Amino acid sequence: MAPINASEVKGYAPKEVLPEVETDNGKGIGYSYDTLQETANFLLSRTSVRPRIGIICGSGMGSYWKDGSLADHIEDPVRFKYEDIPNFPVSTVEGHTGQLVFGKLGDVPVMAMQGRFHYYEGYPLWKCCLPVRVMKLIGIKVLMATNAAGGLKSAYKVGDIMIVKDHINMMGFAGNNPLHGPNDERFGPRFPPMNRAYNYEYRKIAKEVAKELSIDNIVREGVYTCLGGPNFETVAELNMLKMVGVDAVGMSTVHEVITARHCDMHVFALSLITNECVVEYDHDAEANHEEVLDVGRMRQDILRKYVTKLVERFNKTLTP
Ligand SMILES: O=P(O)(O)O[C@H]1O[C@H](CO)[C@@H](O)[C@H]1O
Ligand SMILES: Nc1nc2[nH]cnc2c(=O)[nH]1
């Protein structure tokens, strides 16, 4: 049998990005500050947009449904394919186009990631979060992360939008953390606090805006966790997560938020509940990525309007 070439397998990171531990000229794990500064300078030299809010578009929310998604509504867009950006990984998951878009959302300059990086694609966590550090270096103050997630709380329905109040870093419990390895103080401290990870003022604003848009009946607030994936959870795993206080489960965001808080960015996150987690045996339903993408499409207009308004309101809280 011919050997399998990982780079040709859909859903798998190309071979050259696979090593679990990459070093930068022997200085340690991850890319150095200077290397990421080069990436930031590359982007800044090719656009006059100076965003202060960075948005990560979750599965099915950024790109998949052409012309309706948030990123497709960014005005005067300047787009960069991930493969053309120095030091950037590439997206391999369906529903994650793989480009950065600079431009205006409402009247606010933003940068949106149409596609994020996941651990299950074969990337180490620090590499999944590399774009967050690049955001910091181009002057972004606020990270707005969105994701698709399974709803664990019994009150949640498919299509609900959960404002993330807090997270449980399950992968961190096992010692897998994006900050693992030598610490560069220019990004942040060795031991960053995480008890105020999700900005309180922004969560308050998000609830107000949900009322203004008359979507408060579908907007919730809860606790998110990220598992490594790519498989969805077993019934026993879901019941355990429920027991420890998880309301929604996904395969992203937590490590991005840790990286953003480490470098002192404000953080706001939303989970779109794309499927109900099955917490009973003898149930026919099975989670699948197609359903996740479909619900992303179903909610794209509401999410776009919500995020656009939030971006305008968050921007007003930033000093000029
Ligand atoms: O977290 P995002 O990227 O939104 O996507 C979520 O949905 C995908 C599974 O359907 C996984 O990638 C999971 O993390
Ligand atoms: N881990 C996990 N990720 C998801 N992303 C969307 N739905 C789910 C889910 O049910 N579980």
Residue 72 has pLDDT above 90, yes or no: no
Question: Cβ(251) to ligand 2 under 6 A?
Answer: yes
Specify the DSSP class assigned to residue 320: -
Residue 183 counted as domain residue: yes
Question: Cβ(90) to ligand 1 under 6 A?
Answer: no
Q: Of ligand 2's atoms, which has the minimum distance to the CA of residue 227?
A: 1
Residue 14 counted as domain residue: no
pLDDT in tens, 105-152: 989 999 999 999 999 999 999 999 999 999 999 999 999 999 999 999
- pLDDT at position 13 is 55
Q: Of ligand 1's atoms, which has the minimum distance to the CA of residue 118?
A: 12
Residue 91 has pLDDT above 60, yes or no: yes
C-alpha of residue 232 to centroid of ligand 2, in Å: 6
For residue 153, the domain's CATH number is 3.40.50.1580
Residue nearest to atom 12 of ligand 1 (CA): 251
CA atoms 52, 258, 171, 283: torsion sign: negative
Q: Count up the domains in the chain and report the number.
A: 1
The answer to the question of whether 239 is labelled as a binding residue is no
Which of the ligands is closest to the CA of residue 303?
1
Whose structure tokens read 């197609």? 290
Residue 255 counted as domain residue: yes
Across the chain, mean pLDDT equals 90
Residue 230 has pLDDT above 70, yes or no: yes
**Category of 33 on φ-ψ map: left (φ > 0), alpha (ψ -120 to 50) or beta:** alpha
Pocket test of ligand 1: the residue of 164, 252, 253, 297 to mutate, having most ligand atoms within 8 Å of its CB, is: 252
Residue 222 counted as domain residue: yes
Residue 61 has pLDDT above 90, yes or no: no
Residue 149 counted as domain residue: yes
Q: Of ligand 2's atoms, which has the minimum distance to the CA of residue 277?
A: 10
pLDDT in tens, 272-292: 999 999 999 988 889 999 899
- pLDDT at position 18 is 43
Domain that holds residue 75: 25-317
pLDDT in tens, 155-196: 999 999 999 999 999 999 999 999 999 999 999 999 999 999
Question: Cβ(116) to ligand 1 under 6 A?
Answer: yes
Strand segments (E) across the chain: 53-56, 75-81, 99-105, 108-114, 142-151, 161-168, 219-226, 248-250, 266-276
pLDDT in tens, 130-141: 999 999 999 999
Specify the DSSP class assigned to residue 8: G
Residue 11 counted as domain residue: no
Residue 17 counted as domain residue: no
Question: Cβ(148) to ligand 2 under 6 A?
Answer: yes
